[in-house]
Amino acid sequence: MRFQSLATFAFPFCLTPISQSQQLPGAEPTCVADGDALVSDCQEAAKGVDLTWPRGCAAVDTPRYVVATVGTCTITAWDTSRAQCLEGEKVVGAVNSILLACGRVGVGKVGGKCPFPGTNGATGVEITRA
């Protein structure tokens, strides 16, 4: 009986898509019509993003930073100064927002940009073909 009640409680959580639950709230991705990175490669690349926070961050200005590359997919962060210092969870949320909004169904390819909300486009994430 305990197992049945636990299974009933846990079942809805199994149905929740990860990409929707980890999107960047308020994000408005811009899709690239000919985006050519494989969605599956981008999903794997997102798994490699460092989620440690807070983390040490070099005081070097890096306006563009390659966060992860897997197969055909490169995830790049941009910022006015230290793109390598962006929160990993926000980067993954932006990647998931791009995948959800820009993934071409049936083709399995994607490309686009997603600025972080409240930054007026100064900070964000981009998915391109590697």
Across the chain, which has 130 residues, the per-10-residue mean pLDDT values are 42 38 82 93 96 85 95 97 93 96 91 95 96
Query: What's the predicted TM-score (pTM) here?
Result: 0.80
* Confidence at residue 11, expressed as pLDDT on a 0 to 100 scale: 35
Q: Count CA within 13 A, CB hemisphere, residue 38.
A: 8
Check residue 22 and give its pLDDT: 75
* CA dihedral sign, ordered 69, 66, 115, 87: positive
- Structural domain boundaries enclosing 125: 2-129
Domain count, the chain: 1
C-alpha–C-alpha distance, residues 70 and 21, integer Å: 23
